[in-house]
Amino acid sequence: MKIEFVAPGSVSGSLALPVFADAEFSAVAAAADETAGGALRRAIEASRFDGKPGQTLEVLAPAGLDAPRVVLFGLGAKDKADSGVIEKAAAAVTGKVLLSGETAITLRLDGVTDAEGAARAGLGARLASYRFDDYRTKLTADKRPSLETVVIAADDTAAASAAWESWGAVAAGVDLARDVTNLPPNVLHPETYAKKIEGLAEHGLEIEILDEAKMSELGMDMLLAVGQGSDKESHIAIMKWSGGPEGEKPLLFVGKGLTFDSGGISLKPGAGMDEMKGDMGGSAAVVGLMRALAGRKAKVNAIGIVGLVENMPDGNAQRPGDIVTSMSGQTVEILNTDAEGRLVLGDVLWYSQGRFDPKLIIDLATLTGAMLIALGNTRAGIFSNDDDIATQLSAAGDASGEPVWRMPLGADYEKHIETKNADIRNVGEGRLAGSISAAEFLKCFVNDKPWCHIDIAGTAMGGMKDDPRQPSWGTGWGVRILDRFVRDNYEG
């Protein structure tokens, strides 16, 4: 979808007009209503639209206006209509007309918001327009998107266009994250995923791929054990962006990339197993973030690293009861082969923090079903050994529309991964504190570096279905919060 910015005087065609709480017209909506002889006000009075955030009301061919279609959209209280509210409202408008037969619509944001808000409206429109129709060969025309362009009327088009360069890159990163999450596992497996990541070099990222021979040489037996039941070779993909001062320590982002998780010998139930193609949502967020940072030429040094593995049952698959040795030298008793993501992350965390000596580490993973029980699909859980990182991520989550909630860590939970047979075990005590014990496991591999683990089991797939910015099963969750985290705290 194209996003364009125009001066108010050049507006034409179908219109989207902002309305505040209690059906208070914005200046542009009031002027349009006057031209239409009060038709817009009468439409409001005949409906339940009252200007709440996210509400829309469509008025077709209102008399007196050249516009073939007017969409009124709510912004809520005037003093609270910030860029986040405008972003979500633009997404609601886009979703409203995406399949309508309309090819272009203009959002009148002049006199309502600044250039940043106008650019965020573009982000909302792009997020709402996403579709994954690659394998739908029989869609009829009325089920295909017709909307091609969202035009945004802004007071300062030059500034809005400049701001859009940055937010457009974020949209591209989210699109990429959604694409790889939605792809079927026979198409996206560790080898093809690594190839796709190599293609990001065209955006200025330095890419390095580690194969199984190199991982074996490094002693990553914990990660390799997860993939040994699959005929697809495991890989690690490293993405480097050097946009900050030379020699400055990088930010490190680590993602779990289980391109399919059958559970291994501890086989998952058949119902819903197809959704385990999305068990690489953490890696999708990291890949999308690195695409966004490169696309907007972020003034930061950053490393993205993802472990790409397939977990399958096979005569060579690891077994419950096995003991494996991690790259760190710590031994791990495998009590459940479906608790595999932490094994992949553990070796990647140890390797990457040792090699790159980062300023901080953030890992993302669809790690535990227990996270869904705790927080549902609304928030991701964060676990951190650093209060500043946790505070910054919480603020970034609220600002980006990808909220998080901090969960506890501590000595009283470390006992959950103790075992008499090895240094640690890969699952906790039954169903108790499952997400926390998984985070405690990961903490064993970060060497007290400033670190945060984000469990996105509830947000990477399905997500917040009432948010028009999330139209896709694969949500791309994580790109926006991490980009906001970087731009608000770590760019010069």
**What is the per-residue DSSP string for 343-395?**
HHHHHHHHHHHHHH--SEEEEEE---HHHHHHHTTT-EEEEES-HHHHHHHHH
Catalytic residue of the set 126, 342, 469, 480: 342
Any idea of the CA torsion for 330, 333, 339, 341, to the nearest 10 degrees?
20
Q: Are 315 and 231 in contact (CB under 8 A)?
A: no
**Nearest 5°: CA angle at 399, between 396 and 405?**
55
Q: Are 427 and 437 in contact (CB under 8 A)?
A: yes
Q: Which run of H or of E encompasses 302?
A: strand 301-311
Q: What is the DSSP letter of 269?
A: P
* Cβ partners under 8 Å of residue 441, min gap 6: 342, 346, 417, 424, 426
Q: Is 342 a catalytic residue?
A: yes
In DSSP terms, 382 is beta-bridged to 406, 454
Nearest Cα to Cα of residue 212 among 238, 191, 181, 233: 233
- Alpha-carbon span 169 to 177, nearest angstrom: 12
User: Other CB atoms closer than 10 Å to residue 271's CB: what's the count?
Assistant: 7
- Alpha-carbon span 457 to 442, nearest angstrom: 16
Q: Are 335 and 427 in contact (CB under 8 A)?
A: yes
Catalytic residue of the set 52, 268, 359, 449: 268
Nearest Cα to Cα of residue 379 among 282, 435, 434, 455: 455
In DSSP terms, 305 is beta-bridged to 238, 254
Q: Is 232 a catalytic residue?
A: no
Where are the alpha helices (H) located in 376-467, listed in sequence order?
Answer: 387-400, 411-414, 434-443
Tokens matching residue 409? 């860590």
Coil, helix or strand for 90? helix
* Cβ partners under 8 Å of residue 230, min gap 6: 309, 310, 311, 312, 314
- Alpha-carbon span 308 to 279, nearest angstrom: 11
Coil, helix or strand for 151? strand
Q: Are 286 and 193 in contact (CB under 8 A)?
A: no
Active site residues: 268, 342
